[in-house]
Structure 1
Amino acid sequence: MRLPRRGPAGLTRWGVWSLPAPVLTVILLVELVAVGTLVMSLRHGIGDLPHSWALILAVLTAAGIVSTEASLGVERVRRQSDEGPHIDLSSVWTFAAAALLPAPLAVAVALVLCLHIYARVWRRSGVPPHRALFSTATVVLAVQAAAAVMALSEPTVLFRTVGGLLTVLLALVVYAAVNMTLVVAVIVLCGPNRRFSTFLQTLCHGDDAVLEFATLSMGALAACAMASFGPGYAVLVLPPLIVLHRTVLVRQLEEAASTDGKTGLLNAAAWHDQASRVLRRVERSGGHATVLVLDLDHFKHVNDRYGHLVGDQVLATVAAAVRSEVRDDDIVGRFGGEEFVVLLPGLDGDDGHPGAEAVAERIRRRIRALRVDLADPVGQAVIDHLSVSIGGAMMPADGNELGRLLEVADAAMYCAKHAGRNTVRMGLSAVPSAPGGARTARPAPYRRP
């Protein structure tokens, strides 16, 4: 009997080699550029070293390790629950290094901190080595870019003049742009929607961008304090950074608890809570609002023919289409299955009908025009000719309570189904035998317990 043949060991067993060619190309190119630029900077020499450079390097490295160790449990939970670009807050120290040290020394700080984070957080959270290596390469490039910008100003005026402040701000923007652009590009290339609009939407995600700039700003403040009063002042950054770690975790957990995992929209309970609060404000102000209930037509055929994984991809594409056709302050959720719900507060019009129906028609046409490219396992195929039946209910014409509006909108949606699907029906007037109340075809899609 022969032993099973083992596959090649080492780097050749990494999952990176199974990635699509465009993703693999970007990853390898970024890593090669990071190594190449570092070698070039070393060949040009470190240059004039700042006063107490060894102490600065040691303090930044130690502070980065201490901050990671102090937030170890929090960071592991964040890493496991974070599905988008992960901001580990170590950029406080890497940006400070780029501001205070020559590029090669700043990269040395970044490499030590990334290695420590991998050993203590990433590896234990199941992060593959190739992802950790790519993340490290993006940090190296960001540090070198920021250090190059910092070199445009004399160290003596960097933290003391308006020109120096502008240089620091520019370096901050460059660091964030290099790091986040590269990470988001790979995330989008790995996803089903490889479009530039998806890239911009992910890159400009409000919370992630604010957190990144807040972290880099803390790094700039740490560098300023260390340059002005001494390296020991870096210790003052540790308490607020640890508190920020915990605050970010709370936000992540709250967001995860209220988000539908397949579509990224609000789940039923979170949508109901937010919609109830908005409707109470609308009622107090005497305004208008509209509830739309959307149900994909013949969605079971998609699941039966292509499988539930493809069905989930279709749901995510439809959710993105609905979200793109409404305003930022409109509330969009998934009620389960293939059903979605939208609250449109404050539409123009005498009673809300014209604006609400126009939005519903726009959503219907957008979904009808969707084309969903299938993943490789099912072949080169496209799902199109999707359609949706939409029912709507207006406040105050159809009721003032959310439960009542959902009943009317749900009944109107079923009228749209009976009318041939791919149709919009709005309000009590669309529901047969409803002179004073809606005849619901089934219970309301969601009721609070």
Structure 2
Amino acid sequence: MRELEAQVAQLLGRLRDLEARLAQDSTTSSQPPSKDKPWVPKSERQKTGRSSGAQRGHVGKTLKMAEHVDEVVSLPLTGYCACGHAWESVSAQGHVARQVMDLPELRLQVTEYRADVKVCPGCRHRQHASFPDDVPGRVQYGSRVHGLAVSLNAAHFIPLERTTEILEALCGAHPSEGTIVLNLQLAADRLIDFETQLKAALLNQPVLHADETGSKVNGKLQWMHVVSCAQLTLDGQHSQRGFAALEAMNVLPQFKGILMHDAWSTSFKLSAKHALCGAHLLRELRGLAEHHAQVWAGELRDALRLVYHQQKDGTITPDLVIAFEQQFDALLDAGLKANPPAPPVPGRRGRTKQTPGRNLALRCQQHREAVLRFLHDEGVPFDNNQAERDIRPWCVKRKVSGGFRSKEGGQHFARIRSDISTLHKQGLNVWHGLVSVFRSEIIMPSFCC
């Protein structure tokens, strides 16, 4: 009889878990918003009461006439006035101007380098003048073509074949897919020094953000990892998700500051101080409250949102922090009481699977300092949105052009993306930065952030 009751309880628990899983969306789990139903609300933000769109006092932007023009087309007035007078005989008293801003017709600009050839009158040795370093072959594309190819593929995630089509449509160049791959490899090789300085700069940051996502290589699942802050981004491609990938990137194992992450178990193996993402916690609490009828989770979510907005608005006080922490501990105790330990399953070895509510309450108790670090350490944000924003381009890349053909291709792409993201964060021109890579005059970002 007891075995039968245990089996029924197990099946009921499994049924509840399956129903809750089917009801999950981006507001109650880590599921991406792209899988949500279109009517599901997307944001945790509180309503301000303001209307949507531009607010009062917003300075609008519109296309303005240029002060300096490249070409003037005069339009003489011809024909006859209504009274019969010929306009050709009347002098113009002024003009009305309209401007058209368009791209000029693009074509490749061919530069031919002619090196003098001379023969020594003494020993008859034949010698020619040296060519520039970026002119290694008899015929080659220039730095702008290479930079544009890399920009289209690495910055805008356009597949190789379509990149060649765009280049041909724009300027008549039609490099092969292999040439573009070689461009990516050359750019990655020349950015090795950039990556070395970037890693050293990240180690000196007080707070870093980390996240990871899947990335396909030859159809097999691999992983893309990101370590970043407001001014710097380091991307890395690796075959593993775990600690081996972090060791290969060679930043987080040596980092001694505060690491913001989403409670991934491997991150807790690091010696850094930990801060856990509040946005992930809010989604989990919402899922427990809505799909598992966990009252304590809904109350904790409301309390956490309130104290976050108080801190954000600058109205938080030490007394409010103490009161919240007491409420935090009391609600976690309530969560553990509402989710008692699951009894061992007869005949099954190992740890017994616990309910999502118990697992979450235990995690918050075990990592209480990391969950509440945003209240006590200045400069520690409430969420891990920095890493989420930095990893989003890889999700776009995965959807637009798929994965990589080789492990090396993914690693080269990651290094170039690190440069692109860092330049963009610091307000530097990404286009000029990519072109500079092929001129051996690489534009370096600031590493003293």
Q: TM-score range by the shorter chain?
A: under 0.3
Structure showing greater relative contact order (alpha-carbon pairs closer than 8 Å, 6 or more residues apart): 2
With normalisation by structure 1, the TM-score equals: 0.21
With normalisation by structure 2, the TM-score equals: 0.21
